């Protein structure tokens, strides 16, 4: 029998001074058995960076046609598609055709560098694609915030995310490799 997902309860207060977005979000976050704690927390950080009342988590790693996070408009059209890691170029191109904006949050050190070097030319022709790099040390720092029940505050200013709990403050500054429109 396959192991079940681990469920985390999250209360997230977002103060995004760059986008002038201020709201609270309460949700459950499921960790797929094959998902690392770092990737789980990076999904949470990506949610904080792009928080919106309609932003939601995809159905998970086992559903290949879903984004890690996506935001739909009121008609059901995908406004924003967010993937983590190093998706293949076919997936990125398909996402760019389906969504108004696509964001790839790239992490993984040398593997992330190799992925970018391999796909930078093709990705330069996708006007609605944004690629962010998160340093391995930042991903590691995010995992220190992981608890089964989390009350976090996210403050975003000048592209830097401060993710804070009662016991810890983690700063993450994604590097912009490519900025979409």
The backbone torsions φ and ψ at residue 83, rounded to the nearest 5 degrees and listed phi first, read -120, 150
The backbone torsions φ and ψ at residue 95, rounded to the nearest 5 degrees and listed phi first, read -65, -40
Structure letter (DSSP) for residue 114: H
* String of DSSP letters for 157-177: ETTEEEEE-SS-EEEE--EEE
Per-residue model confidence (pLDDT) at position 62: 56
Q: Which CATH number applies to 6-178?
A: 3.10.640.10
Per-residue model confidence (pLDDT) at position 1: 37
Alpha carbon 15 to chain centroid, angstroms: 17
pTM: 0.94
Alpha carbon 167 to chain centroid, angstroms: 23
Structural domain boundaries in the chain? 6-178
Per-residue model confidence (pLDDT) at position 22: 98
Q: Please list the ranges in the chain whose pLDDT falls under 70.
A: 1-3, 60-64
Per-residue model confidence (pLDDT) at position 33: 87
């Amino acid at each position: 029998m396959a192991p079940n997902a681990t469920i985390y309860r999250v209360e997230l207060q977002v103060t995004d001074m760059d986008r002038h977005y201020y709201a609270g979000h309460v949700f459950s976050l499921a960790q797929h058995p094959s998902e690392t704690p770092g990737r789980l927390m990076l999904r949470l950080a990506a949610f904080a960076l792009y928080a919106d009342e309609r932003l939601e988590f995809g159905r998970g790693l086992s559903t290949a046609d879903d984004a890690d996070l996506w935001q739909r408009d009121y008609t059901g059209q995908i406004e924003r598609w967010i993937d983590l890691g190093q998706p293949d170029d076919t997936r990125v191109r398909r996402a760019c055709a389906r969504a108004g904006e696509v964001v790839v949050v790239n992490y993984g050190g040398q593997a992330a560098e190799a992925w970018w070097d391999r796909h930078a030319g093709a990705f330069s022709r996708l006007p609605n694609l944004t690629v962010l790099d998160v340093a391995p040390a930042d991903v590691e720092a995010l995992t220190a915030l992981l608890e089964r029940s989390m009350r976090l505050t996210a403050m975003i200013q000048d592209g830097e995310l401060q993710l804070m709990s009662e016991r810890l403050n983690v700063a993450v500054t994604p590097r912009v490799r490519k900025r979409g429109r």
